[in-house]
Structure 1
Amino acid sequence: MSGGVDSSVTAYLLSSAGYDCIGVTMRLYDAETSGRDPARACGNLADIEDARAVARRLGIPFTVLDCRDAFERDVIEAFCRAYELGTTPNPCAICNQRIKFGALLAHARELGCEYLATGHYARVAQLESGSFALMKAVDRTKDQSYFLYGLTQEELAHVLFPLGGLTKQGDVRRIAREHGFENAAKRDSQGICFVPDNDFATFIERRRGRALPEGDIVGTDSTVLGRHRGAIRYTVGQRKGLGVAAARPLYVTGIDARANTVTLGDEADLMSGALIADSWTWSAPAPDTEARLDAAPLRAAARIRYHQADQAVRVRRALPPECAAGPVPVRGEALRIDFDEPQRAVAPGQAVVLYDGDVVLGGGRILCAAGA
């Protein structure tokens, strides 16, 4: 229970359905040490009290679980290291995999709970075979299945998403208002919860205790175009705020952490026909999906960013030379994903998620873009 309207309505729905519920708020970090306004940080006192008030209204036990050490190690430090290596991390997906459905699910099981329920907008369906399918939410504007690709069959067997079949405005906020929840109109959280104002570079500078090193901004032909004040201040696809005067629009097409350079090029240079992804996790039953992959290139749909429309793809196992092109060493299983239509601004470090209609097949970390 984050103290927001989604988790509060989740608790209400399950309590009303006859489940024995325990409300838990995770304390993830100390806001003061991250430089974030304590009133806007995850697990701040106001949010904890909001969650406690809802639990009291529902008559369910409530507790605060200290996850600061795990969050520091698995999310915050991993986030900083990824940027320093020249990639763009997806901390929400990592947090879901390691913290919410890792540490918190383990805690729930230790308490003897059969399920962990959250306010995510996604669905879990049990199939006739007995396996489970992670699916998109009915409310496509709020669907969060992209961030949940790391859930395995074992975890899906113990997860409930009561909001997956509801709409945020038409159902969830209405239920909260009708039952007098004080957080019924509370705004949704936005951005990275532990980074003040989404200023990643300043956050990392403060954390490391030093300024980011300056370096060259270069063209695709290696011509020096200017200087930067830290390569991680830039993202692939960025156009504005480059600090370079040019006769035509230029875009960030690459970031090389080792050389400490930022490469600018034309918009056409941003287009990629394929990508290599590692750290792969199958949400669908792995043996079945692996068998389909081994038989022939797997036809599916993919997203390389949240709220992107599904893109038709062909998937096969990546070859070692393809993996070597990435900015960081390959981890775990690696796949090559070829798009039917070239994609703009494929960003190493971000998540790529495969779908079969509404069903999430799995996902992984983008290692690098690849040619057609």
Structure 2
Amino acid sequence: MKVLAAMSGGVDSAVAAARAAEAGHEVTGVHLALSRNPASYRSGARGCCTIEDSNDARRAADVIGIPFYVWDMSERFHADVVEDFMDEYAAGRTPNPCLRCNEKIKFAAVLDRALALGFDAVATGHYARLREGPDGLVEMHRAADAGKDQSYVLGVLDQDQLRHSLFPLGDTPKAQVREEAAARGLLVADKPDSHDICFVADGDNAGWLREKLGDRAPNHGGDIVDDATGEVLGRHAGTYGYTIGQRKGLRIGTPAPDGRPRFVLDIEPVSATVRVGPRERLAVTRLRGIRPRWCGTVPTALEGSGVTVQLRAHGEEHRARVIVSLDGPDTEVEVELLDPAYGIAPGQAVVVYDGTRVVGSATIAATERVPA
């Protein structure tokens, strides 16, 4: 096959490209330039898409012996990922830009261009496994290395995208990938993994949003309120600086009567109000998902011992019952959590599993909490 290997400049994508070439595929490496103004150097393990990353990817391609190109996807990335991130936070929701990038950029814009250029598949360094199911469809399963599993952020891929994807690292522990990179002479063998949001290089989401939103922010300050009593406990500089479940950085001078910490329970951008309360008020038992994307056949209902949902990229699994329903022209997903989850915010993704198989995902629109 003709394979386009997406090379970020990290160890995972480099080894994935090397494995694809070693398997006999005709491989071409491509680095995605996603930043309009890439920095010269990374900040430790934060950020990506820097000039340094591009050079690291090029050197890895040279060692592997494959052609290499840089594709400028910065405008598409800004429109589909960065702008979406800002809009969601301004509306009081908590988005996951990695899912949006996979959905809109890596397995949409890049895959579409690759297929138009005559490539058969796109290979990445994601940790997930693909296999053919009994119905002939391509199934996506969790990676062998549970600590590195990335099936959650790939839960937005549909069947056509899965048929044109390769994940060469899905069966391999991360430590072994680094050893292999060193044995292959790849200089990125010891390069730190990138983490957090790639376009917020210093990890300060609130500061980044404050700078970028400017006059677009719905408010520049408001009250932090005790949800039970209505007492104003403090002021904030903008609701976009908070997310449901947040405990640190509230800067509330008045302690709770019982001395326990408070958490963000609700965010109301219109009234510029942040409501806080005890952790037990964060317990969610039901949620509603919109804009579902299915990896294969659209289910109508899922239940049983193997049915679980994951609500964060590195979060735990929760046993669940899942019902898919049509509400007018739109499909919605109703999820009953058999084990309560805490700190779940609208805008996050719910990814549905049947055992290790990824069924699909949806964007959380609303949650139902345990009554006070």
Same fold (TM > 0.5):
yes
Superposed, which structure 2 residues align to 1:352-363 within 5 Å? 352-363=350-361
Deviation at 1:117, TM superposition (A): 0.4
Quote the Cα distance in structure 2 between the aligned partners of 1:156 and 1:108.
Answer: 14
Quote the Cα distance in structure 2 between the aligned partners of 1:128 and 1:277.
Answer: 28
Deviation at 1:298, TM superposition (A): 3.8
272-281 or 77-86, larger mean C-alpha shift: 272-281
TM-score by length of 1: 0.90
Partner of 1:92: 98
Quote the Cα distance in structure 2 between the aligned partners of 1:365 and 1:348.
Answer: 8
TM-score by length of 2: 0.90
Deviation at 1:205, TM superposition (A): 2.3
Candidates 191, 196, 211, aligned match of 1:191: 196
SS of the residue corresponding to residue 209 of structure 1 reads helix
Can you give the 5+ residue segments of structure 1 that lack an aligned partner in the other structure? 321-329
Candidates 249, 261, 264, aligned match of 1:241: 249
Verify the 8 A CA contact 1:219 1:264 in the aligned structure 2: yes
SS of the residue corresponding to residue 208 of structure 1 reads helix
Candidates 38, 46, 57, aligned match of 2:52: 46
Superposed, which structure 2 residues align to 1:128-147 within 5 Å? 128-147=134-153
Question: Per-residue CA shift, 1:88-141, capped at 9, x if unaligned?
Answer: 110000000100001111111112111100000001111232101111000000
Letter in 2 for 1:340: L
Partner of 1:214: 221
Verify the 8 A CA contact 2:126 2:170 in the aligned structure 1: yes
- Aligned residue pairs, count: 352
Matched, 1:345 2:343: yes
Can you give the 5+ residue segments of structure 2 that lack an aligned partner in the other structure? 1-6
Change (3 A) 1:260 1:152: same
SS of the residue corresponding to residue 279 of structure 1 reads strand
58-67 or 39-48, larger mean C-alpha shift: 39-48
Question: Per-residue CA shift, 1:238-294, capped at 9, x if unaligned?
Answer: 2222121213321111111111110011111111111111111111322xx23xx2x
Identity within the alignment, %: 39
Quote the Cα distance in structure 2 between the aligned partners of 1:269 and 1:127.
Answer: 41
Letter in 2 for 1:303: Q
Matched, 1:223 2:223: no
**Runs of 4+ residues deviating >4 angstroms:** none
Superposed, which structure 2 residues align to 1:264-283 within 5 Å? 264-283=276-295
Quote the Cα distance in structure 1 between the aligned partners of 2:196 and 2:57.
Answer: 21
Change (3 A) 1:251 1:39: closer
Partner of 2:205: 200
Quote the Cα distance in structure 2 between the aligned partners of 1:312 and 1:53.
Answer: 45
Quote the Cα distance in structure 2 between the aligned partners of 1:42 and 1:48.
Answer: 9
Candidates 164, 175, 181, aligned match of 1:176: 181
More helix by share: 1
More strand by share: 2
Verify the 8 A CA contact 1:353 1:364 in the aligned structure 2: yes
Superposed, which structure 2 residues align to 1:34-183 within 5 Å? 38-40=41-43, 41-169=47-175, 171-183=176-188
Change (3 A) 1:81 1:38: farther
